[in-house]
Structure 1
Amino acid sequence: MISDEAGQYLVNIAKKTILHYLETGEKLELPDDYPEELDEKLGVFVTLNENNDLRGCIGYAEPIEPAIVATIEVAIAAAFNDPRFPKVTEDEFEKLDFEVTVLTKPEIIYVAHPDQYIDEIEIGRDGLIVQKGYSRGLLLPQVAVENALDEENFLEHTCMKAGISADSWMDESCDVYKFQGQIFK
């Protein structure tokens, strides 16, 4: 994936991006000095926490933009466009903890029967995407660990994130994908 140095650079860019947006209302210009490896198209999520509580989390599951560009875009989205939370304010900026997760490309999990998904998922390593029709939910790898979820509960919570019933992963019309993530704080 990417080096620790590049990952820390992304965390700093996420912070600078949000602060710049708070001060000017404008998107941060692409810096000149970023590590060249961040030109690679990668899935990226920016997570904001305040007092260990989720405060915003938005990202790209698919590698559609260079990592540096994706980080700037999703940092703004996590701070100001996550529909679950009000916009981040200048007063709370200093209280935020910043996390950037860089993702591998999601891979569909092929199984003969849906109950075999449980054997194909490793808690702490894999994140999940569940898709049924137009409904799609994603949970990052750290969500299972932070919430002490086993494989079945992780599948159920990913279904609920998609807005479908918790047992939808057992439906053969449902697709389950896994991916891995590098977490930088």
Structure 2
Amino acid sequence: MLSEEDGKFLLKLARKAIETYLNEGKILEVPSDTPETVKKLQGAFVTLSEHGNLRGCIGYCEPFKPLVNTIIEVAISAATSDPRFNSVEKSELPDIDLEISVLTKPQLVEVKTSSEYLEKIEVGKDGLIIEKDFYKGILLPQVPVEWKWNAEEFLCNTCIKAGLAPDCWHDTKTKIFSFQAQIFYEK
């Protein structure tokens, strides 16, 4: 678990990374005062919202880079490379709010029958990754809470996010992973 101070550091870092990239076209270097706690390998997502509406969300589920590097990369990507949105303009920055989700390593949810998923997935605690063939969909733990989904709706919507049929979670070829997130809000 990261401290609130670590969270504040990461939020300031993410904002500075976006500002530096939009203003100077440069990728921010890792600051010399970076706490050791955020140098560990961890997955993370940065979510941007503007006036309460999603404006970008990009991240890495797997912990293959130091968290500090991941935050710099995905903050810039959320602002400039989310295919659902145009790039954030400099003039929008004052209206953009940041949220960082620092993830645990995803774990395969093992079941004998698909109905067991409904008991094993905890809405509000778990995030989901659904994989089948070359398709993959990810929803963070806060998403089903925001939409007031139950476990079945969460599974179905993660299937849809993967580009699959909503009931693909019943297919034995579908793999479902869960993870948890520590979430830090800018405002």
Query: TM-score by structure 2 length?
Result: 0.98
Could you say what the CA RMSD is over the residues aligned between the two structures, in angstroms?
0.6
What residue number does 1:88 align with?
88
Residue 162 (structure 1) shift: 0.4
Partner SS state of residue 156, structure 1: helix
- CA deviations over 1:133-162 (Å, ceiling 9, x no partner): 110000000001011010000000100110
Partner SS state of residue 105, structure 1: coil
Residue 115 (structure 1) shift: 1.2
What residue number does 2:32 align with?
32
- CA deviations over 1:67-99 (Å, ceiling 9, x no partner): 000000000100000000000001111000100
What residue number does 1:43 align with?
43
Query: TM-score by structure 1 length?
Result: 0.99
Partner SS state of residue 74, structure 2: helix
Partner SS state of residue 88, structure 1: coil
Structure 1 segment 48-67 matched on structure 2, within 5 A: 48-67=48-67
Q: Write the distance in 1 (CA, Å) between the matches of 2:88 and 2:148.
A: 28
Structure 2 residue 163 is matched with structure 1 residue 168: no
Partner SS state of residue 11, structure 1: helix
Structure 1 segment 101-180 matched on structure 2, within 5 A: 101-180=101-180
What residue number does 1:72 align with?
72
Q: Which runs of 5+ in 2 are unaligned?
A: none
Amino acid at match of 2:48: L
Residue 52 (structure 1) shift: 0.7
Sequence identity percentage: 47
Residue 2 (structure 1) shift: 1.4
Partner SS state of residue 83, structure 1: coil
* Equivalent residues, number: 185
Q: Which runs of 5+ in 1 are unaligned?
A: none
Amino acid at match of 1:130: I
Q: Write the distance in 2 (CA, Å) between the matches of 1:115 and 1:59.
A: 29
Residue 4 (structure 1) shift: 1.5
Q: Write the distance in 2 (CA, Å) between the matches of 1:72 and 1:53.
A: 22
Partner SS state of residue 77, structure 2: helix
